[in-house]
Amino acid sequence: MLDIRRGRRDIGFIALAIAFIFLFTIAIQIFVSIAVVQFAPWMFDDAFWSWAISSVPMYAVAMPLSIFFFRRCREVKRPERQRIGGLKFWGILSICFVGVYVCNIIGTAANEAFSALLGREAINEIEQVTMSSPWWVNLIFTVLLAPVFEELFLRKLVIDRLLPYGELPAILLSGIAFGLIHGNFNQFFYAAAVGMIFGLVYTRTGNILYSIVMHMILNLVGGVYAAEAQKLMEGASWGGIFASIPSEIIGIVMMAIYMLALLAALVGAIIAFLSYRKEFWPLRQGIYTVTAREWVQMLVINPSVWVFLAVCALMFVI
């Protein structure tokens, strides 16, 4: 039988854990930034150290400490482990690529509308950061570090504690939280959509490595390959054996390959959806059957959830 107070408390600790990651990361970043300004201001001019100042406090300090809140949840249900074949893996990944592309358009429109409401120019800060950083820096922080820590903390730890209430709420809440923690409209929609797909993969395989690898591939293509292609199209220098070829030509070729790959992903996504939809649907019930009224009591009438939403709103405005 469902204990509403226990459910509210468990969901509250999850919300507080994610809010803590946010707030504690910001606090450390401010402290480190003040120290850097005083003693090593040159670090802000170096892409690697700028990424390190913004990322390491979250991955190395805030996320590990957030385990204190996650451990307060008494309900934990780990999904059974199951393998997926290579074709299914690439099919699901194709759906992710299409989802990112479509939701990125929605996110860009939302960001422009929000910026117009505030009376300022719409800026995609994530794109600015990746465009101004060398490829190897983007590779380290967006392809290697981010997927590992984000999937472990914001997918596995969250879903393991929400599965007792069913796959649907576990996947939805994990995905929405994943979108919100990015703190901007440009990333919210596609991060939430892809987060739900990753959550579905994890609940059906019990192996977080699948979503980590998918996350890495998505960031590699979108955050490194596409960014480098755009840099070359805008006239960035290109060395090595291709130094004699105009960088714009190389950039156009790379972008053409990217668009062809996206078209292939669209075809693959359609085939994968038609082939595998019955394996992932309907979603399974949890230990408890929770009514709409009980969800209102656990989510809406929950101060910790409102703290989490307030922190996310603050990040969006900032």
**Per-residue model confidence as pLDDT tens digits over 283-308:** 888 888 888 899 999 999 999 999 99
Q: How confident is the model at residue 170 (pLDDT cuts 50, 70, 90)?
A: very high
140 or 130, which is more confident: 140
- 8 token code pair: 């509210």
Q: How confident is the model at residue 128 (pLDDT cuts 50, 70, 90)?
A: confident
Judge whether residue 241 has pLDDT over 60.
Answer: no
The answer to whether the CB of 269 falls within 8 A of the CB of 97 is yes
Question: Scanning the structure block, which residue is given the tokens 């150290």?
Answer: 49
| Range 130-156 average pLDDT | 92
Judge whether residue 240 has pLDDT over 60.
Answer: no
| Range 98-116 average pLDDT | 87
Question: Scanning the structure block, which residue is given the tokens 């939809």?
Answer: 277
- d(C-alpha 35, C-alpha 44), whole Å: 12
Judge whether residue 82 has pLDDT over 80.
Answer: yes
Question: Amino acid identity, residue 218?
Answer: L
Q: How confident is the model at residue 250 (pLDDT cuts 50, 70, 90)?
A: confident
What is the C-alpha end-to-end distance of the chain, expressed in Å? 42
Give CA 72 to chain center in angstroms.
24
What pLDDT was estimated at residue 116?
79
What is the chain's mean pLDDT, rounded?
89
What pLDDT was estimated at residue 30?
93
- 56 token code pair: 């390491």
Q: How confident is the model at residue 186 (pLDDT cuts 50, 70, 90)?
A: confident
Give CA 200 to chain center in angstroms.
14
Judge whether residue 264 has pLDDT over 90.
Answer: yes
- d(C-alpha 215, C-alpha 240), whole Å: 30
Any idea what DSSP says for residue 288? S
Q: What percent of the chain has pLDDT over 70?
A: 96
What pLDDT was estimated at residue 288?
87
| Range 21-43 average pLDDT | 92
- 312 token code pair: 């996310």
- Its pTM stands at 0.92
Q: How confident is the model at residue 76 (pLDDT cuts 50, 70, 90)?
A: confident
Judge whether residue 242 has pLDDT over 70.
Answer: no
- d(C-alpha 31, C-alpha 29), whole Å: 5
What pLDDT was estimated at residue 131?
81
- Residues 148, 78, 197, 301, CA torsion sign: negative
| Range 277-288 average pLDDT | 86
Q: How confident is the model at residue 92 (pLDDT cuts 50, 70, 90)?
A: very high
- d(C-alpha 216, C-alpha 259), whole Å: 19
What pLDDT was estimated at residue 185?
80
3-state secondary structure of 124: coil
| Range 147-171 average pLDDT | 93
- 38 token code pair: 């005083």
